[in-house]
Amino acid sequence: MVRARSKATTAARKKRTRKLTKGFRLGRHNLFRMAMTTLIRSRVYAFRDRKTKKRQYRRIWIVRINAACRMRGLRYSEFMHGLQLANVMLDRKSLSETAIHDPAAFDKLVELVKATLAEHAPKKA
């Protein structure tokens, strides 16, 4: 009986892998075993860093909002608490963009927050 070989299948698989490792340095794009190892590792990094990217953006937005609030005499935590009390449903990304590109609208938000916080302040006897 003739032995079944799979040269076409194997060649196609290796070709696909080499195409995915285009741009890798030295043997990492050409030597199949090394290319596979590097490809797996690169996909792990890609998965991990997609999550990290989201965290970094959120941190940047918070820093920007905090800076804009401090310029108007309010802390970030007070500002966010006031927005919750005022039922303003804006995410940090849009607040950050508003603070940078539309300071007048952000001023109105700060005024709203200050009024809401004054309204909800505990009454002294």
| Residue spans per domain, the chain | 12-119
For the stretch 55-85, pLDDT in tens is 999 999 999 999 999 999 999 999 999 999 9
- Pick the closest to residue 61 from 93, 101, 107 (CA basis): 93
Query: Which whole number is the average pLDDT over 92-111?
Result: 96
Indicate yes or no: pTM above 0.95.
Answer: no
CATH of 12-119, one of 1.10.1900.20, 1.10.3720.10, 3.90.950.10, 3.10.20.30: 1.10.1900.20
Radius of gyration of the chain (CA): 27
Of the ranges 5-9, 23-27, 74-78, which one carries the lowest mean pLDDT score? Answer: 5-9
CA distance 54 to 62: 13
Give Cα 7 to chain centroid, integer Å.
43
